[in-house]
């Protein structure tokens, strides 16, 4: 079964801390997406990657294809980073549909 697992499910940290959210998947993928959802809000795409590393501002996403693992890092975290972060993957088989993890709820306290 094609599965996506995220950890931790919940994460609370103090402003300024370095944050890491992990995502593991079961079989080969063509792409991995990191999404952000603020409370009561819509879903925004942060990154799409199939290899290596991408950086946007204080956000960094990495993927290790051999380990079937990706991480999302937030440097110098801020209360406005508080949101649910969702990992989603496109598996090679049986189709190109997205499969989502359950999300990680991040709370950054001032």
Instruction: Say how far apart CA 88 and CA 14 lie, in whole Å.
Output: 27
Question: Of the candidates 8, 10, 16, 43, which one interacts with another protein according to CB under 8 A?
Answer: 43
Binding of residue 96 to another protein (CB under 8 A): yes
Residue 17 CB, nearest approach to another protein (Å): 26
Binding of residue 10 to another protein (CB under 8 A): no
Question: Of the candidates 31, 58, 62, 69, which one interacts with another protein according to CB under 8 A?
Answer: 31
Q: Could you tell me if 98 and 33 are in contact, meaning their C-beta atoms sit under 8 angstroms apart? A: yes
């Amino acid at each position: 079964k094609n599965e996506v697992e995220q950890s931790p499910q919940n994460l609370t940290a103090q402003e300024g801390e370095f944050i890491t959210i992990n995502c593991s998947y079961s079989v080969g993928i063509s792409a991995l997406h990191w999404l952000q959802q603020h409370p009561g809000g819509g879903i925004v795409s942060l990154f799409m990657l199939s290899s290596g590393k991408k950086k946007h501002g204080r956000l960094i996403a990495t993927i290790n294809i051999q380990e079937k693992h990706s991480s999302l890092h937030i440097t110098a975290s801020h209360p406005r980073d508080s949101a649910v972060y969702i990992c989603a993957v496109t598996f090679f088989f049986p189709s190109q549909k997205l499969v989502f993890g359950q999300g990680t709820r991040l709370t950054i306290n001032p």
